[in-house]
């Protein structure tokens, strides 16, 4: 979920949002917690409740019904903006 979210969103995030995203993916000790928060299976702790988490929750809803069966190729990381 997070790699697909990153591919779609990182290139248009502000520096503040990038810092929040970095904190989100690096501080929790269990990646499953992030998944549960994003899918609203568990409430998000106050320290991670921000606009990036709201974006991730919206992305997790998959309103376009896209197939998300595998992680994206990483070539996008090396492309010029």
pLDDT at 12 > cutoff 70? yes
C-alpha 75/C-alpha 20 separation (Å) is 24
Give the three-class secondary structure for 27.
coil
- The domain containing residue 56 runs over which residues? 1-77
> Which residues neighbour 68 within 8 Å (Cβ) at sequence distance 6 or greater?
1, 4, 62
pLDDT digits (tens, 9 = 90+) for 14-70: 999 999 999 999 999 999 999 999 999 999 999 999 999 999 999 999 887 877 777
C-alpha 64/C-alpha 29 separation (Å) is 31
Domain count, the chain: 1
State the pLDDT at residue 77.
65
């Amino acid at each position: 979920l997070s790699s697909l979210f990153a591919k779609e969103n990182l290139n248009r995030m502000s520096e503040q949002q990038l810092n929040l995203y970095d904190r989100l993916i690096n501080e929790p000790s269990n990646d499953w917690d992030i998944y549960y928060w994003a899918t609203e299976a568990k409430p998000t702790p106050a320290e991670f409740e921000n606009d990036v988490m709201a974006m991730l929750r919206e992305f997790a809803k998959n309103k376009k019904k896209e197939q998300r069966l595998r992680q994206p190729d990483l070539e996008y990381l090396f492309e010029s903006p």
